[in-house]
Amino acid sequence: MEVLNLPGTDDTPTIILDRNNGIFEISGRSLPEDSAEFYTPILEWLDGYSNSPNSETEFVFKLEYFNTASSKLILDILSKLETIDNTKVAWYYHEDDEDMQEAGNEFSELVEVPFDFKTY
């Protein structure tokens, strides 16, 4: 399976989806002009990955900020993770960023995937 590696910009997060090395990470800022278009390759990659996932998957979110349109797509990603056995989410947030901590808490209540909250 191909590695999906999208470098981040001021408006889009860095995406690394690498099953061979067990790296599944979205980090940075997410304010793409067209969130649906930006996140489509990620959702498609996860569809393929879900057919033959690793024995364990830890999906890392290290987002500094995301807009409302991105939040819908993040929820779509989390919903796909629900279908993959032995998956957990590592939700990172800056120690003093209550908004990002709260966003993670809200997402964790909407999906059946264990969340591990970590500060950095």
Per-residue pLDDT in tens (0 to 9) along the chain, 120 residues: 899 999 999 999 999 999 999 999 999 999 999 999 999 999 999 999 999 999 999 999 999 999 999 999 999 999 999 999 999 999 999 999 999 999 999 999 999 999 999 999
3-state SS of 96-107 is CCHHHHHHHHHH
3-state SS of 37-101 is HHHHHHHHHHHHHHHCCCCCEEEEEEEEEECHHHHHHHHHHHHHHHCCCCEEEEEEECCCCHHHH
Render pLDDT for 33-53 as a digit per residue (tens, 0 to 9). 999 999 999 999 999 999 999
**DSSP, res 19:** T
* pLDDT, position 39: 98
* pLDDT, position 100: 98
Record: fold of 4-119:
Transcription Regulator spoIIAA (3.30.750)
* pLDDT, position 77: 98
Say what the pTM is. 0.97
Ordered by start, the domain boundaries in the chain are 4-119
